[in-house]
Structure formats: structure tokens, C-alpha cells
């Protein structure tokens, strides 16, 4: 996979997607929006990949949308331009991350602002460097958070804190993100990628079917009732029971060794 605005690397069963416009702090232009859709779909469909890392090249994760990108913005006849850009441009990639049948880890190496923070929060897990931060800067340009950020933030920190983040537009430090449960880990700047890769390697050794079905059920649980979630769990375990991975795990338990999942 060769892209102008992204860098894709695969080491064994781990793929690393890097936003790669460092001169623009990895802000999204129209080219990067399209390439991100394609790359995430390709990674999702690739069965040789068990874990995905998303990060940014250079000093930041992503500064959000590139406000200097003129592409399509001169079409004054289309009064649905912004709506279409968000729903047709960004939403497919963000939904694909959330629905991908494998864990996705955000390695946030600096600012993750606007739609950039949406990509970080869409991931299943997050590691932040000490100097990294999330930012909702929309209020400074008289807009509201988009990219599903109103959904991500209210479910993560509750209405009052989410609303404060939106209307103040301040940097949310890595340490504060850890306190609020917005990130799983905070590490030193120079350990970000090695720490994230070590976590990814650990996950890659686990049962892919267990990671996949846990993700499916937990994502669904965010908007489902207790009873419906209980039934989803039961259905998942019913389908996984007696599988090759399950039998290998049981065998490894009795043989006092680590399981060797395919």
C-alpha cells in the first residue's frame, strides 16, 4: 500500500498506519481523507494483520482538518458541502476503526486536535506521550465538535466535562486524559512507539477471536440494554466454545504452557 499522505508499515502481524503530512502537523486535506478510507479498509480486510497502531509522523498525531486546503470549498452552489465532507469523508474511516475485527491502538505523539482527536478516541486503546494532548478547538472558529466527538466525549467523561471541553477549547494534557479515562497509558516521549509496539505484540499473541468478539460486544454494549448485552455475550461464547482456539487454550492450561493461537 503506497500513499502520498500516509505511511503503512507491517511487522509480522502488526500494522502501523502513520498520518504523514508532518509539515502540516498531519492535518487532513482531501487527499488524506480519501487515502485514510482506503488504507483502513485494506488493513481491516487483511487477515494477516492482528493488531493495528495508528500514529502520526513528526511532532504530532493530527492537527485536525487542514483549513488551508481549498479543495471543493469554492463550490458555493452546494449548501450541504460540510455535511457531505464529514459524513462521506471522515465517517467511513472512523466507523471502520470502531467496527474493525481487530484491536486498534492510538499512539498519540503530540497534539491530537479536532478530527484528529476523533481518530484517537475512535481507537479501542490509547497510549499518549507525556507531551501529547487532546484539543477541541472548534469553538475558536465558531463551530461545534464533529467527527462523532460529542458521542465519544459524553460517553467517556459525562456531559458536564464534555461540554466544558467543547466550549473552552483548551488543551487536555496526557496526564489529565489518564485521570479521566480518555487514555489507557501515558509514557515518556521517547518510549511511546516501543511501549505501544510491546503492547501490540502482547495482544497479537492472544486469541484473535476473543479480541474480536469482545470488541464487538463491548461496542454494542455502549448503546444496548443489560439484557441485550447478556444475550450477545451468550451468543458469542456459544459460537466460540469448542473452537480451535478454545481447545488450544484448554490444552495449554493443563500442559502449563502458553497457548499457540493461529
Best CATH choice for the domain 6-204 from the list 3.90.226.10, 2.30.30.40, 3.20.20.20, 3.90.1170.50: 3.90.226.10
Give the Cα separation of 252 and 250 in Å (integer). 5
List the pLDDT tens digit at each of the 262 positions of the chain. Answer: 789 999 999 999 999 999 999 999 999 999 999 999 999 999 999 999 999 999 999 999 999 999 887 765 556 667 888 999 999 999 999 999 999 999 999 999 999 999 999 999 999 999 999 999 999 999 999 999 999 999 999 999 999 999 999 999 999 999 999 999 999 999 999 999 999 999 999 999 999 999 999 999 999 999 999 999 999 999 999 999 989 888 988 888 898 888 988 7
Name the residue with cell 478547538.
Answer: 137
Q: For the CA atoms of 178, 180, 184, 189, what is the dihedral angle to 10 degrees?
A: -30
Cα→Cα distances 22→57, 117, 171, 187, Å: 6, 16, 20, 22
All 3 cell numbers of residue 13? Answer: 502481524
Amino acid at each position: 500500500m503506497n500513499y502520498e499522505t500516509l505511511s503503512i508499515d507491517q511487522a509480522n502481524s502488526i500494522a502501523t498506519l502513520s498520518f504523514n503530512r508532518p509539515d502540516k502537523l498531519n492535518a487532513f486535506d482531501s487527499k488524506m481523507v480519501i487515502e485514510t478510507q482506503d488504507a483502513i479498509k485494506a488493513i481491516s480486510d487483511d487477515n494477516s494483520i492482528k493488531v493495528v497502531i495508528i500514529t502520526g509522523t513528526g511532532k504530532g498525531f493530527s492537527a485536525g482538518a487542514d483549513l488551508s486546503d481549498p479543495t471543493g470549498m469554492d463550490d458555493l452552489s452546494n449548501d450541504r458541502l460540510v455535511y457531505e465532507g464529514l459524513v462521506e469523508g471522515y465517517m467511513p474511516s472512523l466507523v471502520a476503526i470502531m467496527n474493525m475485527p481487530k484491536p486498534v491502538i492510538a499512539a498519540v505523539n503530540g497534539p491530537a486536535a479536532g478530527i484528529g482527536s476523533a481518530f484517537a478516541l475512535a481507537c479501542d486503546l490509547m497510549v499518549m506521550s507525556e507531551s501529547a494532548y487532546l484539543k477541541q478547538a472548534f469553538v475558536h472558529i465558531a463551530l461545534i465538535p464533529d467527527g462523532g466527538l460529542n458521542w465519544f466525549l459524553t460517553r467517556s467523561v459525562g456531559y458536564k466535562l464534555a461540554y466544558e471541553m467543547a466550549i473552552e477549547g483548551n488543551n487536555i494534557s496526557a496526564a489529565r486524559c489518564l485521570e479521566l479515562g480518555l487514555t489507557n497509558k501515558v509514557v515518556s516521549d521517547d518510549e511511546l512507539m516501543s511501549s505501544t509496539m510491546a503492547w501490540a505484540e502482547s495482544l497479537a499473541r492472544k486469541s484473535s477471536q476473543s479480541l474480536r468478539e469482545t470488541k464487538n460486544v463491548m461496542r454494542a454494549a455502549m448503546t444496548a440494554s443489560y439484557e441485550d448485552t447478556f444475550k450477545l455475550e451468550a451468543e458469542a461464547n456459544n459460537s466460540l466454545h469448542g473452537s480451535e482456539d478454545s481447545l488450544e487454550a484448554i490444552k495449554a492450561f493443563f500442559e502449563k504452557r502458553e497457548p499457540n493461537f493461529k
